[in-house]
Amino acid sequence: MNKWLRKSLFVIVSILTFGLITPTQLMNTVNAENHTDRDAFEAPSVENSFTRKSSFKEESEFNKEDFMQELLKQAELQSYQKFGTRIKPVIENEFREIILPNIEAALAETAAQFPEEDLKNLTITEQPGKGLSEKIFNIKNGETGKDILRFHVRREHPPQDGYWFNFHYHTYHDEYQTHHDLGSIYWAKNTPPKWMS
């Protein structure tokens, strides 16, 4: 396993389990079950929330770049959980090439609006919406509990054109009214399965 991937996995496990499972226990379990590295990295958790503040509280200095990279990783994992095992293999490559860079740009644009002391409080939370729900994840202020960004994916079915997944986000600046487009991915002529199936 790559060194950075192992470190990332340990940080994520530590955050998500709050010390109930040590990274060594996880690696022993993963190795015993012969899962691939990717399976271990993308294992669903009971509660998918990420609080950057808790993972950096032992560090003396806040690193904005590391914070943004970790936030983006969590956004990607939440998205894959939303897609489920039936949609993910079909759209994963296009998602990484088209949508994920736009999510990163939206996160960076938002982060630029906050002073560093407030940026530390941003968290990615929310279990993705199942079924036909549009919600992928929200970014909120951990201290106030107020949503800052809401990332969604909507199914679209233009006449005679098949099904599309439109990715977009909403911001608190306009009370979440405007759709800020992140891009669209074509599915097929047939109806896509429900989210998280």
Whole-angstrom distance, CA of residue 111 vs CA of residue 105: 10
Q: What is the pLDDT along the chain (197 residues), one digit of tens a residue?
A: 455 556 665 556 555 555 445 444 444 444 444 444 434 334 344 344 444 444 444 444 778 888 899 999 999 999 999 999 999 999 999 999 999 999 999 999 998 888 888 888 888 876 888 899 999 999 998 888 899 999 999 999 998 889 999 999 999 999 999 999 999 999 999 999 999 99
* C-alpha dist (Å) from residue 128 to 44, 51, 72, 98, 148: 11, 17, 15, 20, 16
pLDDT at residue number 64: 85
The backbone region for 126, taken as left when phi is positive above 0, alpha when psi lies in -120 to 50, beta otherwise, is: left
- CA angle in degrees (0–180, nearest 5) for 170-99-9: 100
Q: What does the H/E/C string look like for 136-169?
A: EEEEEECCCCCEEEEEEEEEECCCCCCEEEEEEE
* Residue given tokens 């894959």 in the structure block: 80
pLDDT at residue number 120: 85
Q: Which of 163, 154, 161 is nearest to 182 (CA)?
A: 154
**Per the confidence metrics, is the pTM higher than 0.85?**
no
What are the pLDDT digits (tens) for 34-65?
A: 444 434 334 344 344 444 444 444 444 778 88
The DSSP secondary-structure symbol of 28 reads H
* C-alpha dist (Å) from residue 53 to 4, 60, 135, 154: 20, 12, 24, 31
What are the pLDDT digits (tens) for 143-166?
A: 888 999 999 999 999 988 899 999
- CA angle in degrees (0–180, nearest 5) for 75-70-105: 60
Tokens (6 digits) for 67? 């914070």
